Chain A
Amino acid sequence: MIELDNRLKTALADKLLAMGDDELILGHRDSEWCGHAPILEEDIAFANIALDEQGHAAIWYGLLSEVIGEDKETYPDRLAFLRPPSEFRNAPLMELPKGDWAFSMLRQYLFDVAELKCADWLVKSAYQPLADAAAKVQREEFYHLRHTQAWTRRLGLGTKESNQRMQAALDALWPYAIHYFEPLATDAPLAEAGIIPPALEWQVSWEAQVLPFLREANLKPPASFELVAVDRLRHSEHLAALLGEMQSVARLQPDASW
């Protein structure tokens, strides 16, 4: 197994934090549908997906704890519940409000393909613990994708209204989805060492699956768009509101044991 020097260790810690934050924030957004989804079966299915994504956050945070020598049992909870918004490193795509059902479903679809492509690569990562963790994520993402793909197709090809809602969601989400693939400042040496996928290779594999699928679902990504004005370091106001709610119970008694 590859030995991590200090530079790689710091870079990997940054990467795992960003990956964990992406899953946690998206998982929380998805969980906001619990009790509000359009039909009972979808309520259960989407809550299930939300829980899986939060489980993936726990996996990446746990790995991060090992890399930086923190306690694997308590550090992930501290990361999730006791950090201010300015210390979160999720992509802005994840913090956008849940919108309508089309918006949440399409965001989840775009993310599922990205996460699955990433996991497909990571299972042969030079850093074995990352490869092992990716194998767990891979199978769940395969199932999420089956669900979100089925819905994206049906809503895209469904009624005039469902297609319009999906197209509006795609117009709004696309710039954020593209932004999601921007590498962190510290990613390059990790990719060179064979620990994470090269950013461009990952994005290209995502586009190769997403573009033809969307076309078949009668949905068109916007031909031109404004670049996203926020990033993983400077968040929108939506993140503070999300964390305010998500962290409220934990912050009542930070030393409580659960």
Chain B
Amino acid sequence: MTDTQWPEYIVFHQESADRPHDYAGAVHAPDAELALINARDVFVRRPDCVSLWVVRADRVFARTAEELAVAPDWVDSVADDGEAEIWLVFQKLNHRGTHTHVGEVEAATPTGALKAALTACANPSAIVWWVVPTRAVTRSKPDDVAGMFEIAKRKMFRDQGEYHTVTAMRQIAEEKSRK
């Protein structure tokens, strides 16, 4: 049986221009344009976003620090043959945190990119590494800020605490008991 699911796209969002892009979650979409639109609808209901990136999940090369530690000699056998391109490097620094964009490296293969990332973005606290080829990433454009993200700023979001349901129900119950 063929898989009828749409492909999965990983979503990164940027909360303000001076902060890196962070992993936000994933959406399904038939193509990158709709992935970007879906990412906005799923992850940008609140107004703290200035940029979104989406990339097909199967283009993300991921390894945990534990996996890398099992056979540390793997780096010696990386050939990295082929035409070099730019890769984005993401790290997750603790179990409660998220994958954060920490830099770029140049490499031809996923393993080559990871090997380069381990040196260029060295961080002993990193527990997960992701490398993503930049050409696979679809980014929101500066023109999109007004139409996609700014509109959330004018929306009123009510916390559930603003609805005094329990108090109101108590009052109704008291009125009823008095009758």
> Which A residues lie at the B interface, using CB under 8 A?
39-42, 44-45, 48, 55, 136, 139-140, 142-143, 146-147, 150, 154, 257
Q: Which residue in A40, A55, A154, A257 is a CB contact (below 8 Å) of B30?
A: A154
Chain A residues, CB < 8 A from B42: 41, 44
Contact A139/B41 with A40-B28, A41-B29, A154-B30 known, Cβ cut-off 8 Å: no
Question: Is B108 an interface position by the 8 A CB rule?
Answer: no
User: Do residues B37 and A150 form an inter-chain contact, with CB atoms below 8 A?
Assistant: yes
Shortest CB distance A2–B (Å): 26
User: Do residues B37 and A147 form an inter-chain contact, with CB atoms below 8 A?
Assistant: yes
User: Do residues B37 and A136 form an inter-chain contact, with CB atoms below 8 A?
Assistant: no
Q: Which residue in B38, B147, B154, B155 is a CB contact (below 8 Å) of A45?
A: B38
Question: Is B120 an interface position by the 8 A CB rule?
Answer: no
Q: Which residue in B27, B28, B34, B147 is a CB contact (below 8 Å) of A143?
A: B147
> Which B residues lie at the A interface, using CB under 8 A?
6, 27-30, 33-34, 37-38, 41-42, 45, 146-148, 150-151, 154-155, 168
Q: Smallest CB-CB separation from B27: which chain A residue?
A: A41
Q: Smallest CB-CB separation from A55: which chain B residue?
A: B155
Q: Which residue in B6, B33, B45, B155 is a CB contact (below 8 Å) of A39?
A: B6
User: Do residues A44 and B147 form an inter-chain contact, with CB atoms below 8 A?
Assistant: no
Main secondary structure of the interface of B (DSSP, over half): helix
Shortest CB distance B31–A (Å): 8
Q: Smallest CB-CB separation from A140: which chain B residue?
A: B151
30 inter-chain pairs at a CB distance below 8 angstroms, sorted by A residue, are A39-B6, A39-B28, A40-B28, A41-B27, A41-B41, A41-B42, A44-B38, A44-B41, A44-B42, A45-B37, A45-B38, A45-B41, A48-B45, A55-B155, A139-B146, A139-B150, A139-B151, A140-B151, A142-B147, A143-B148, A143-B151, A146-B37, A146-B147, A147-B37, A147-B41, A150-B33, A150-B34, A150-B37, A154-B30, A154-B34
User: Do residues A136 and B154 form an inter-chain contact, with CB atoms below 8 A?
Assistant: yes
Main secondary structure of the interface of A (DSSP, over half): helix
Q: Which residue in B28, B45, B148, B155 is a CB contact (below 8 Å) of A41?
A: B28
How far is it, in angstroms, between the C-alpha of A147 and the C-alpha of B42 when the chains are bound? 13
Chain B residues, CB < 8 A from A40: 28
How far is it, in angstroms, between the C-alpha of A21 and the C-alpha of B34 when the chains are bound? 30
How far is it, in angstroms, between the C-alpha of A210 and the C-alpha of B32 when the chains are bound? 24
Q: Smallest CB-CB separation from A253: which chain B residue?
A: B172
How far is it, in angstroms, between the C-alpha of A42 and the C-alpha of B6 when the chains are bound? 12
Chain A residues, CB < 8 A from B28: 39-41
How far is it, in angstroms, between the C-alpha of A136 and the C-alpha of B154 when the chains are bound? 8
Chain A residues, CB < 8 A from B151: 139-140, 143
Chain B residues, CB < 8 A from A39: 6, 28
Shortest CB distance B28–A (Å): 6
Chain A residues, CB < 8 A from B154: 136
Chain B residues, CB < 8 A from A136: 154
Shortest CB distance B153–A (Å): 10
Q: Smallest CB-CB separation from B30: which chain A residue?
A: A154
Shortest CB distance B158–A (Å): 11
Interface centre among B6, B27, B45, B151 (most CB of A within 10 A): B151
User: Do residues A139 and B6 form an inter-chain contact, with CB atoms below 8 A?
Assistant: no
